[in-house]
Amino acid sequence: MNKRVEVLKTYKLYIGGKFSRTESGRYFKLEDKKGHTVANLCQSSRKDFRNSVVVARKAQIAWEERSAYNKGQILYRIAENLEGRKSELADLISAERKLDKKKADEEVNDAIDTFLYFAGWTDKYQAIFSSVNPVASSHFNFSILEALGVVSSIMGPDNNFQQLAALISAAIAGGNTLITLVPAELSLSAMTLAEVIHHSDVPAGVVNILTGFEDELLEHMAGHMDVNALLYWGDKKETVIKIRELSESNLKRSVFWPTEKNRARSPYSIYDLQEIKTTWHPIEQIGGATSAY
């Protein structure tokens, strides 16, 4: 019996709810241990990033305005759909990071549980971090968390699949839209995760995933004027400095998460990508009575 010839997959980018090749037409190779080509990956260009910002900006307000309940269900849907593609993802992770299958299995399970974990936070983090402030004057005053807006992020070669899940969850659970640049070591799993996200009722533009090189895109990402924050999940000192320097352009928030043993499974990961908004309103005073808040 002849051995069946496999159908190989073309890996593209995920921008604005579409799987498209890089506009630059460039590629780079992911190889296995023996040096065989596993895939030709898209080498994202600055223009790919700019295009992603445009769609992410367009999608942001509507996503933020989805109810917390709805955002939670969508994150839950991602977890559900990932469950069915566990073994495929584990295979891809062991291929891209040369990891043994058991470890890869654990990582995928952890990632699924991470989506689930954040699905449960969408309608709770506000209650943990917001406040009603007892001001001395007759006003009702409260502070709530609000999404930063368009968040971009760079993941390093030491990040794993669970961390990618945590990053995406934390960003979108809080109403942000996200553009994340992943290295070759996360490319196959990330682009497959994009397929899952695509089929989990996540609106187009909310999550955008690019493959490519940090060195090439860093300055452009840190300097972009319509990005509200840049999260770097890595430990390269030069990258951290560069981001701080270039974030000066529009004072975008720079958020740094260390790689080591950081699963980011915490509502503080959501908080890191939020603004605090405080609202005042007078309370009518009748007969000298003031507010009791």
Partner 1 sequence: MTKTDSFSLKFNDGWKYDPAPESIDHISIAEQYGLFINGEFVNSEGSKYFKTINPSNGDTLSKISEANKKDVDKAVDAAKAAFKSWSKMDPSDRAKYIFRIARMIQERAREFAVIESLDGGKPIRESRDIDIPLAAAHFFYYAGWADKLEYAFPGKNTKPIGVAAQIIPWNFPLLMAAWKIAPALACGNTVVLKPAETTPLTALKLAEIIKDSGLPKGVVNIVTGAGKTGSYLVEHPDVDKIAFTGSTEVGKLIRRATAETNKKLTLELGGKAANIIFEDAPIDQAIEGIINGIFFNQGHVCCAGSRLLVQESVLDEVSKKLKARLESLIVGDPLDKNTDVGAINSEAQLEKINSYIQVGKKEGLEMFQSNSKVPSKGFFCKPTLFFNVAQSSRLAKEEIFGPVLAIQSFRTVDEAIEKANNTPYGLSAGVWTDKGSKAFNMSSKLKAGVIWANTYNKFDPTSPFGGYKESGFGREGGVHGLKEYLILENQEG
The residue ranges that bind partner 1 (CB under 8 A) are 128, 131, 133-137, 139, 141, 143, 146, 149, 228, 241-242, 244-245, 247-248, 250-251, 253, 266, 268, 275-282
Q: How far is the CB of 238 from partner 1 (least distance, A)?
A: 10
Q: How far is the CB of 125 from partner 1 (least distance, A)?
A: 11
Q: Which is nearer to partner 1, 11 or 63 (CB)?
A: 63
Residue 214: CB minimum distance to partner 1, A? 17
Closer to partner 1 by Cβ: residue 24 or 141: 141
| Distance, CA of 253 to CA of 251 (rounded, Å) | 6
* Distance of alpha carbon 143 from alpha carbon 99, whole angstroms: 45
Judged by beta carbon, residue 87 or residue 137, the one nearer partner 1 is: 137
Residue 278 CB, shortest distance to partner 1, in Å, is 5
HEC per residue, the chain:
CCCCCCCCCCCCEEECCEEECCCCCCEEEEECCCCCEEEEEECCCHHHHHHHHHHHHHHHHHHHHCCHHHHHHHHHHHHHHHHCCHHHHHHHHHHHHCCCHHHHHHHHHHHHHHHHHHHCCCCCHHHHHCEECCCCCCEEEEEEEEECCEEEEEECCCCCHHHHHHHHHHHHHCCCEEEEEECHHHHHHHHHHHHHHHCCCCCCCCEEEEECCHHHHHHHHHHCCCCCEEEEECCCHHHHHHHHHHHHHCCCEEEEECCCCCCCCCHHHHHCCEEEEEEEEECCCCCCCCCCC
Select 30 or 255, whichever has its Cβ closest to partner 1.
255
Instruction: Give the nearest distance from C-beta 52 to partner 1 in angstroms.
Output: 20
Q: Which residue number, 77 or 224, has a Cβ lying nearer to partner 1?
A: 224
Least distance to partner 1, CB of residue 31, Å: 36
Cβ proximity to partner 1, 102 vs 277, nearer residue: 277
**CB of 257 vs partner 1, minimal distance in Å:** 12
The smaller minimum CB distance to partner 1, of residues 194 and 227, is found at: 227
